[in-house]
Structure 1
Amino acid sequence: MHTLLVARTVRGLEPLVAEEIGGAVRHRHREVWFRRTVPDAGVLGLRTADDVLLAAAVAGRIGHTKAALTRLRAAAREVDAAAVVALKAAFGGSPEVKGVDVSASFLGRRTFTRYDIEDAVGAELAGRLGVPYHSRRHGPPPPCTLSWRVSVEGDEAVIGLRIADRPLHRRPYKIATVPGTLHPPVAAAMARLAGLERARSVLDPCCGAGTTLIEARASAPSPRYLGADLSPEAVRVAAGNTADADRIGWLVADAGRVPLPAGSVDVVLVNPPWERQVAAGGLLSADHDRLWRELRRVLTPQGRVVALLPDAVEPPGFAVDRAIRLSLMGRHPAIAVLSPPARRGSGR
């Protein structure tokens, strides 16, 4: 058996998601398609993906007019919904069926809305399963419904069933949050790019709710992690989100004067507060570049920084080794892997 699955992702992270999966059939906008020969609950452990779905149907000739709804309705009618639900359980999802909801998206101009797609497909799937259909046109669905997704790109649509009970990006550890908190799959991508396997110490000087270090620790449990933030409330929230974690500590500190010795940190993971959702405070409010000078100070000679930046411009004192442009909440930041220029010229 070759089961086709679809990993949903932040735009720009598709190659990293494919790398974590271990190979891909193809990429689409915010999607990585891949196969498994046997049911594998491990797909629910993907950290760079927003969600993972079982591909129940792939339909072509999806045009831009409302005639496309007839094609989608016919594709949904051909789905063996009961078999897909059983496969969901084999992959580690719940077999419970109390109702059906559908979420849809498409690229380009169409003469129909996402709700038209959802209602066309959802009514057919619910009918096949003999359960109620809950339209998102009227608000969020109730708990414990089967969540299906339809995405249309060009003239091709895929209908998929979410395996988990909720999207993978909704991490259970995140019991509390703060303004500006980082999207967990983006944090996981930053950790993946950092190459933490040989690191001994990892710092986040603007830790917020702790997401970046929690994701890093999930991928590499050996280093010692330290998160600092100017806000005592943020540090309290981060500590609460890691109540059961070891090798990770939190402290209230100004990112412009990190209370660590020079040359003591192997990797820095940071999402600086450059006047977006959170304004820079403390010593950084008067001098943003002070952060980069401080990171240069605490880094070991072979240290690196992975930062989420508003753009891929090189921060002072660092060179960009790699940058991945994202589309995130209407903005286009970049994950940048940074190293001191002197090290780049050393032949490494």
Structure 2
Amino acid sequence: MRDDAHFVARCARGLEPQLAAEILEGELGSITRAGHRSVHFRAWRPYDTGVTALRTADDVFLLGARGREAGRTRSALRTMAELAAQANPEELLSHRNALAPHPTARPSGVEVSASFLGRRNFNRYDAEDAVGEALAARLGVPYHPRRTEGAPPPDYAAWRLTLDGTEATLMLRITPRPLHRRPYKQSTVPGSLHPPLAAAMTRLAAIGPGHTVLDPCCGAGTLLIEAALAHPEAGRYQGYDIDPTALAAAGTNKRTASLDHIRLHRADAGRLPLPDTTVDRIVCNPPWGTQVPPKARLAKAPTAWWQELRRVLTPTGTAVLLLPTPTPLAPAIQAGLLPTHTQRIHLSGTPTYLTKLEPKTP
């Protein structure tokens, strides 16, 4: 692979800064552009497997071709098909196979997934067919149309086409499945967190050696697992949940991830069985009723929950939370927690707020 191989990492809308920071901190390459849900970068080292280990990315691709959109009418489909002529699929497949193992070195077919911003006089399947048929013809293999045949066979090469209103980008997925599908996530419950977002939250928490890390509403354990995988140097990982089903799911996932040092307990997040000022970092997706209803003390006295967080945090502690709106912060401030970072994230079109809070100093 050339030292300047070009990659495109895709992420949830709003996580582009965290993804770019992870790429730079991992010394994976130079950022060439950041746009809607994507960060482009050129590799510093050939075949660096760190490219396929990005935690805040939904997926990572090799850049095949890029060109200006030719409009929003069906005539633009011809221009999209020309992207396949600009790409070098044989070379890209060779690079892909060097970066990640696949069922077969030579794919038996081609599949394309397309997405675009704004309205068009064609749908995603029209765009997929235009590009997929052209790629299949170049490679001399069958094309799998998602329009009529659903999910493709696992040994088909996965291509991605994005249209952002200005440019069309054609990419080849590197890994056999998207990065956001974590192998450890064998069990889920309502409200389970998107793993790359959980990874971004743990990065914002700045977990360090010897820290005690708490998730008082741990659900299926995604936040604690992402934190423990990224920061094994922390001292203790503690998860609490009042729902036995959630704790069972978290237990399954932590065992799959081989993280036996994560401790899980059943408890009311509004009355944590912890001494005062003993927690260094809190990471949590609280149940505010959007997907999971609050229970126990959180349902009866939601504002008192902030006082509980403030009670267990050390004076130099940090809490990183995912909130449905910025409005719950007034009682947090009254409890002595000051917001130092708020960032809007979009998941499946729904805005949520990534918020960092620290104890108010006297």
Instruction: Classify the TM-score, shorter chain.
Output: over 0.9
Q: Deviations over 1:296-321 (max 9, x none)?
A: 11111111100000123424222210
User: Take 1:115 and 1:85, find their aligned partners in 2: how far apart are those partners?
Assistant: 23
2:7 paired residue among 5, 13, 31: 5
Q: List runs of 5+ in structure 1 lacking aligned partners.
A: none
Deviation by residue 1:221-269 (Cα, 9 ceiling, x = unmatched) = 1221001101111111111111121321101111011111111100100
- Of residues 351, 356, 362, the one that matches 1:332 is 351
| Segment of structure 1 superposing worse, 38-47 or 167-176 | 38-47
In the alignment, the residues of structure 2 paired with residue 107 and residue 12 of structure 1 have an alpha-carbon distance, to the nearest angstrom, of 15
CA distance in 2, matches of 1:74, 1:48: 32
C-alpha separation in 2, matches of 1:297 and 1:327: 31
After superposition, the C-alpha distances for 1:59-88 in whole angstroms (9 at most, x for unaligned) are: 224311112111111121232211110010
State the shift of 1:284 in Å. Answer: 1.0
Q: Which of 224-233 and 61-70 deviates more?
A: 61-70
User: What letter matches 1:8 in structure 2?
Assistant: R
Matching residue within 203, 208, 218 for 1:207: 218
CA contact (8 A) 1:104 1:149 kept: yes
Q: Percent identity?
A: 48
SS of equivalent residue, structure 2 residue 347: coil
Q: What secondary structure is seen at the aligned counterpart in 1 of 2:272? A: coil
Q: Is the 8 A contact 2:154 2:176 kept in 1?
A: no
2: CA distance, partners of 1:193 / 1:62: 40
Matching residue of 1:186: 197
Give the counterpart of 2:246 among 234, 237, 248.
234
Structure 2: gaps (5+ residues): 25-29
2:36 to 12, 29, 33: 29
Cα deviation per residue 1:74-114 (whole Å; 9 max; x = unaligned)?
A: 12123221111001012224234021111111112211111
For residues 145-294 of structure 1, the aligned pairs below 5 Å read 145-198=156-209, 200-223=211-234, 224-243=236-255, 244-294=258-308
> Distance between the aligned counterparts of 1:87 and 1:47, measured in 2?
21
How far has the Cα of 1:136 moved from its partner?
Answer: 1.1
DSSP 3-state at the match of 1:339 = strand
Whole-angstrom distance in 2 between the partners of 1:214 and 1:34: 28
- Residue in 2 aligned with 1:74? 82
Deviation at 1:171, TM superposition (A): 0.1
2:27 maps to what in 1? Answer: none
Separation of aligned partners in 1, 2:56 and 2:70: 30
8 Å CA contact 2:228–2:259 kept in 1: the answer is no
SS at match of 1:196: coil
Amino acid at match of 1:334: Y
Please report the TM-score for the alignment, with normalisation by the length of structure 1: 0.95
Distance 1:326 1:307 in 2: 12
After TM superposition, which residue ranges in structure 1, 4 or more long, deviate above 4 angstroms?
A: none
For structure 1, which segment, 286-295 or 313-322, has the greater mean C-alpha deviation from structure 2 after superposition?
313-322
One-letter amino acid of the counterpart of residue 324, structure 1: Q
Residue 136 (structure 1) aligns with: 146
In the alignment, is the contact (CA less than 8 A) between 1:41 and 1:90 conserved in 2?
A: no
Q: Is the 8 A contact 1:40 1:92 kept in 2?
A: no
What corresponds to 2:123 in structure 1? 113
Q: With structure 2 as the length reference, what TM-score do the two structures score?
A: 0.92
Matched to 1:10, the amino acid is A
